[in-house]
C-alpha cells in the first residue's frame, strides 16, 4: 500500500464516500477527536463522555456484521474476562461504592475500544489516531508553556497544576506523552506526507522537552524505550537520526536546569520499593480477590506501619492512593483473579499487535510498529508507575488495544 493511498484513506474518514460504512467511520473519527479534546482541555462540561456515548451508538447502528480472526476474538474475550474479574472484585470489595465510583473510567474507555476496533484499527485509522494523539501532545505542551510564561513558581508540580488539565495531576502523568511518542515516530517514518511528518517531529520534540522540564525519569525511560522499539522493528536509520536529535535536545534542556533530571537518575533507592512491599503484604491477606479496586490508598498507612520496614529504605509518609505499579496494584486490590485477568489481557493485546505488525507491509507496517511499541512500553511503565486510579491510563490502554485489533467488516 502506497503512502498516497494511506493519505487518501485518512481523508475519506473525515470526508466519507456515500454508504453507511464510510459514514460510520467518519462518525467514529469525529467522536474520538471530540473525546480526546475533552480529556485534554480544562473544560467545565463533560461533553466528551456524551459525545462518546452518542458516537458509539451511531457507529454500532450503522455498522454491518464484523468478522475477526481467532487472535482478535481472543483479545475481545480477554477484555470481557478482565471486566468480569473487576466486577467480582468490586462486589466483594471492602468499600464497594468507592471501588465502583473510582472504576467508572472503564465505561467510556470500553466504548472507545469498541469504536476504534470497529472503525479505526485499519492502517488509515491508525494513522488518523496517531495524528490526533500527536496533536494532543502539542496542546498539552502549549498549556505547560503558557503556565511557565505566566510565571508559575513552585517547580514541576506547580506547573502541572497550573494547566488545569484533567489529565495532568502530578508530574509523572507526563508518562502519557511518552506512551504516544512511538505513534508520533511512526508518522515520521511512514513518509505519509510532509504535514504528518512535521506533526510527528513537533510532537516528539515537545514530549522530550516536557519530560525534562517536569523531571520525569519514568517518562524519559518510557519514551526512549518506545522509540528504540520502533527503530528496531522498522530497522530505520532515519529513526536513529531522530532519536539522536531528541537526546541532544533533552540534554540541552536538562543542562539549562542544572542537570536536575540527570541527578535524579543517581538515586538508587526509591520510595516505590516500600510501596511494593506494602502492596504485596496486602495481597497476602486477601490472595484470591484482593481488597477491592482502588482500595490501596485506604490501607497503605495501616499496612506500612505494621510492616516495620528497615530504616535505610526510603518511605513515603504522605497519603499514597496507588502502588506505583499496575501489577502490584492488581494483586493487592483484585487478588490472583484480577491479576491473572490483567496478565491475559495484556498478553492477548501484545499478540494481536504483533500479528497485525507481521501481517502488514510498507507504510502500514510502520504504523503497526508504533502501536506494538507503545503497548510494550506501556507494560514497562506499568511495572514502576501506572495505576487505574488515573483515567488516562485506562483510556490509553483501551485505545492501544483497539488499534491492535483490526476487523474485517461484512455487509
The pLDDT-based confidence of 19 (bands split at 50, 70, 90) is very low
Q: How far apart are CA 279 and CA 328, in angstroms?
A: 6
Per-residue confidence (pLDDT) for residue 248, from 0 to 100: 87
CB 282 within 8 A of CB 299: yes
Domain ranges, ordered by start, for the chain: 71-103+122-268+322-409
Q: Give the model confidence (pLDDT) of 278-334 as tens digits.
A: 999 999 999 999 999 999 999 998 998 888 888 778 887 777 888 999 999 999 999
CB 305 within 8 A of CB 53: no
Residue 138: pLDDT above 60? Answer: yes
CA angle, 87 then 90 then 93, to 5°: 155
3-class DSSP assignment, residue 398: helix
The phi, psi pair for 150, rounded to 5°, reads: -75, 0
Q: Give the model confidence (pLDDT) of 308-323 as tens digits.
A: 888 778 887 777 888 9
Higher pLDDT, 170 or 327: 327
The pLDDT-based confidence of 2 (bands split at 50, 70, 90) is very low
The pLDDT-based confidence of 233 (bands split at 50, 70, 90) is very high
Percentage of the chain modeled with pLDDT above 70:
83
Q: How far apart are CA 291 and CA 329, in angstroms?
A: 10
Q: How far apart are CA 236 and CA 216, in angstroms?
A: 27
C-alpha cell at 20: 453507511
The pLDDT-based confidence of 122 (bands split at 50, 70, 90) is confident
Mean per-residue pLDDT, 119-140: 89
Nearest to 76 by CA among 409, 392, 407, 375: 407
Per-residue confidence (pLDDT) for residue 96, from 0 to 100: 92
Per-residue confidence (pLDDT) for residue 250, from 0 to 100: 80
Q: Among 4-13, 59-68, 401-410, which range has the highest average pLDDT?
A: 401-410
The neighbouring-strand residues paired with 409 are: 66
CB 115 within 8 A of CB 28: yes
Supply the pTM of this predicted model: 0.88
- Residue 14 is inside which H or E element, if any? helix 3-14
Residue reference for cell 467511520: 25
Higher pLDDT, 401 or 320: 401
- Residue 307 is inside which H or E element, if any? helix 296-307
Amino acid at each position: 500500500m502506497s503512502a498516497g493511498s494511506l493519505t487518501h484513506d485518512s481523508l475519506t474518514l473525515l470526508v466519507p464516500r456515500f454508504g453507511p460504512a464510510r459514514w460510520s467511520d467518519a462518525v467514529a473519527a469525529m467522536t474520538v477527536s471530540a473525546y480526546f479534546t475533552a480529556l485534554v482541555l480544562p473544560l467545565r462540561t463533560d461533553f466528551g463522555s456524551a459525545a462518546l456515548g452518542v458516537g458509539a451508538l451511531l457507529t454500532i447502528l450503522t455498522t454491518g456484521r464484523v468478522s475477526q480472526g481467532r487472535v482478535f476474538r481472543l483479545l475481545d474475550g480477554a477484555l470481557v474476562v478482565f471486566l468480569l474479574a473487576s466486577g467480582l472484585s468490586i462486589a466483594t470489595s471492602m468499600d464497594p461504592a468507592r471501588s465502583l465510583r473510582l472504576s467508572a473510567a472503564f465505561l467510556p474507555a470500553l466504548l472507545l475500544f469498541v469504536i476504534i476496533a470497529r472503525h479505526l484499527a485499519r492502517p488509515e485509522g491508525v494513522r488518523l489516531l496517531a495524528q490526533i494523539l500527536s496533536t494532543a501532545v502539542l496542546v498539552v505542551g502549549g498549556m505547560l508553556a503558557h503556565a511557565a510564561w505566566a510565571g508559575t513558581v513552585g517547580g514541576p508540580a506547580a506547573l502541572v497544576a497550573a494547566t488545569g488539565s484533567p489529565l495532568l495531576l502530578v508530574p509523572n502523568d507526563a508518562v502519557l506523552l511518552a506512551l504516544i511518542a512511538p505513534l508520533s515516530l511512526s508518522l515520521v517514518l511512514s513518509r505519509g506526507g510532509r504535514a504528518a511528518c512535521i506533526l510527528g517531529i513537533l510532537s516528539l520534540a515537545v514530549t522530550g522537552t516536557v519530560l525534562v522540564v517536569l523531571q520525569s525519569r519514568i517518562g524519559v525511560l518510557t519514551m526512549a524505550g518506545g522509540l528504540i522499539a520502533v527503530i528496531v522493528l522498522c530497522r530505520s536509520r532515519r529513526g536513529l537520526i531522530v532519536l539522536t536529535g531528541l537526546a541532544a535536545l533533552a540534554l540541552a534542556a536538562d543542562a539549562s536546569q542544572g542537570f536536575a533530571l540527570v541527578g535524579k537518575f543517581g538515586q538508587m533507592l526509591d520510595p516505590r520499593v516500600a510501596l511494593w512491599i506494602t502492596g504485596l503484604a496486602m495481597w497476602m491477606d486477601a490472595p484470591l480477590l484482593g481488597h477491592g479496586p482502588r482500595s490501596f490508598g485506604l490501607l497503605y498507612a495501616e499496612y506500612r506501619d505494621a510492616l516495620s520496614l528497615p530504616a535505610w529504605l526510603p518511605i513515603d509518609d504522605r497519603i499514597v492512593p496507588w502502588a506505583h505499579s499496575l501489577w502490584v496494584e492488581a494483586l493487592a486490590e483484585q487478588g490472583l483473579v484480577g491479576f491473572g485477568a490483567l496478565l491475559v489481557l495484556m498478553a492477548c493485546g501484545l499478540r494481536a499487535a504483533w500479528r497485525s505488525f507481521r501481517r502488514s507491509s510498507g507504510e502500514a507496517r510502520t504504523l503497526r510498529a508504533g502501536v506494538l511499541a507503545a503497548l510494550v512500553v506501556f507494560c514497562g511503565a506499568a511495572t514502576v508507575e501506572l495505576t487505574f486510579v488515573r483515567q488516562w491510563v485506562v483510556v490509553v490502554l483501551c485505545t492501544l488495544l483497539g488499534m491492535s485489533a483490526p476487523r474485517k467488516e461484512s455487509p
